[in-house]
Amino acid sequence: IYTHYDRHFKVDPYLCGMNTKVRVRFAPSPTGGLHLGGVRTVLYNYLFAKKHGGEFIVRIEDTDQTRFVEGAESYIFNCLEWCGLVPDESPIHGGDYGPYRQSERKAMYREYAEKLINDGHAYYAFDTPEELEQMRMNFKTEANPSPQYDGQIRMKMKNSLTLDAGEVKQLIDSGARYVVRIKMPENKTISFTDLIHEEVSFESSLVDDKVLLKADGMPTYHLAVVVDDYLMKITHAFRGEEWLSSAPVHILLWEYLFGLQHMPQWAHLPLILGPNGKLSKRDGAKFGFPVFAMNWTDPKSNELTEGFKEKGFLPEAFLNLLAVLGWNDGTEQEIFSLDELISRFSMDRVHKSGAKFDFEKAKWFNHEWIKKLDAVRLSPLVKNHLALKDIHPADDAFLHTVIDLVKDRCTLIPDFYEQSGYFFKAPGVLDTEAVKPKWTTAKTEFFEAYCVLLQEMSNWDLSSIESTFKQLAADKNIKPGELQLPFRIMLVGGKFGPAVFDIANLIGKDETVSRIKKALSIFNQ
């Protein structure tokens, strides 16, 4: 599985974990809103696990208590629930490998840090923040403007490599604050095979001695992720490529603590790009599109960041657009259900380069899914948005008919108000400018006569409404096309909506006649 010779070792992750059950994890920090890149990471983990009959775990990485944000953890799980990506194990769902919050696993990490120290792979560092800042100033050069705590500098600092054992013990016994740092080896090439980027290599001398255990006793990401992945039997670790630079530290920790044969297969997912590089919350604010899965209000600043859900996206569409934002199945197909994604997904089809987010394309996906889903599925969402406009449909069958009639015209869920609100409430404003320039006395007389005929109808149905309209137009020698636009504006308020006779049929005789009469009084002013 790996060879380790002289100063080089190589890991082939394709050979790891093949005889064990697939276990993947998403390990977010509870520090704020869930970025769409984070949801894509969840989705790829979920698809891979379900395709291979494995398990999807959510682990909360809350070791940095200074960045902890109240409510962020529950927000993360609410987002996953909306997306339909339910974990098999998590702090909420339980499991056999808990606790699933790193803050609740604090005691176990020190044991592994001490093992690294005893084996000569890590050391205590007693440097104060002021001494670290002084180091950056003292060793700053034109060639090295940002000195790191590395193999070149560690022997000039205050740590257990430069102090004798008695001094180290005295400092620890006296309660001096310290961190534990990994001791990066010198002049070693560290290589591994990434499921996306293939062969990746690093020179160990270029990597600084990362902190593994902080002064408060909490582990950093580097130590915690390795220990937790081992104890939770994670077989595959998919994470953003921003973590690729940390791979040499993690590979060494796997080798030192557990042996590389236990290391998960890794895949570092390419970035999602915005207009100016990596997609950020600022891009969304500047260009008017969401970057979070759901609305997130920062409890510190009270700043609201809009989410895809509140913007009017369907979870089916959201997952679909994220899936193909950096992956394809080798065909021209673009619309995938979750079941189809599970059956088609494979890591070898994930792109190596970043994928640019296109909000117009995102809306296209949502439009396609609105057209694809039936009225029963859409009805609760439409009801919620209509309620915001004080429209409360009492008849579900009627609402379903309306949804089916207008859904092809809707891109986002809020569009259903504009496209269907007039079925439930007469329009408050009419587009008179579209009618008045060509309005005539003959048209007034036509609609007055049409009202009489409508009121006399014994059978209110689509065929009768339309045939009566056209026959009356013929009798009065007016082209039906000249009358249909005014009729539409009378019923709808504007130049939009489905077939005008369908609208009349649905809103009923009394409402149709009432709207015509009201419009005539406005057109004839």
The owner of tokens 């994890």 is: 25
**Active-site residue, 425 included:** no
**Residue 254, SS3?**
helix
- CB-hemisphere CA count at 13 Å for 33? 24
Show Cβ contacts of residue 362 under 8 Å, excluding neighbours closer than 6 positions. Answer: 289, 313, 317, 321
Set 281, 356, 372, 383: catalytic member = 281
Q: Which phi and psi angles does 96 have, rounded to 5°?
A: -90, 0
Tokens in use for 303?
């700043």
Residue 239 pairs in a beta bridge with 268
- CB-hemisphere CA count at 13 Å for 289? 18
Question: Would you report the helix, strand and coil content of the chain in percent, each value rounded to 5?
Answer: 50, 15, 35
Nearest to 127 by CA among 164, 155, 165: 155
Do 270 and 196 form a contact (C-beta atoms < 8 A)? yes
3-state secondary structure 26-73: ECCCCCCCCEHHHHHHHHHHHHHHHHCCCEEEECECCCCHHHCCCCHH
Show Cβ contacts of residue 406 under 8 Å, excluding neighbours closer than 6 positions. Answer: 416, 419, 420, 497, 498
Q: Which residue intervals of 298-395 are DSSP H helices?
A: 308-311, 315-323, 338-344, 359-372, 375-388
**Residue 308, SS3?**
helix
Do 60 and 101 form a contact (C-beta atoms < 8 A)? yes
Nearest to 489 by CA among 431, 423, 450: 431
Q: Which phi and psi angles does 340 have, rounded to 5°?
A: -65, -40
Do 59 and 69 form a contact (C-beta atoms < 8 A)? no
Catalytic residues: 281
